[in-house]
Structure 1
């Protein structure tokens, strides 16, 4: 994946997967979750400064039923020695990385 964002994400069901180790990769998650259906995108947010995983991910399914099946099957399952917490994502993946507000730099006298 290029890191520029997933193509055509409209209509996909997004799951938030919490309690990941820092070494879990997108490929690891895709391999585990695609047992439940066609995975459209896997995204692991990185810390802006260290570039390390923030310990959670988003897994998107093309079909809502597949996503729900994966959520029920994977919530509480062990992966890399951790108990996963899987739920429907409340917020979508941001389109662009957040920018600094710049408020203090614009308030010059």
Structure 2
């Protein structure tokens, strides 16, 4: 198990600070990283949030998965490790 979460279907208006504020309702946030398009400098609509503990990560999934954020239902799941190339 891990304390790193994948957040999908993010509105393009969301930034690292607003995502951190949202996830702090579920526990202590260690890190937030929204994936940006290098060419346009816009959000790609997904990112990662690392919670302090696995319990807080599970709590965030229960509390926030499927919740609406700026008109979009966000997906919150445990992040899968990067595939080895």
Which residue matches 1:19? 9
What secondary structure does 2:20 align onto?
A: helix
When Rg is computed on C-alpha atoms for both structures, the one with the higher figure is 1
Secondary structure of residue in 2 paired with 1:55: strand
Higher relative contact order (CA 8 A, sep 6+): 2
> How many residue pairs end up in the alignment?
81
Q: CA RMSD in A?
A: 1.2
The unaligned stretches of length 5 or more in structure 1 are 1-11, 93-109
Query: Please, what TM-score do these two structures have when normalized by structure 2?
Result: 0.89
The answer to whether the aligner puts 1:63 opposite 2:53 as a matched pair is yes
1:42-65 per-residue CA deviation (whole Å, 9 max, x = no partner) reads 000111211110000101011110
> TM-score w.r.t. structure 1 length?
0.70
- Equivalent residue of 2:19, what SS? helix
Which of structure 1's runs of 4+ aligned residues deviate more than 6 A?
none
- The residue that corresponds to 1:79 in the other structure is 69
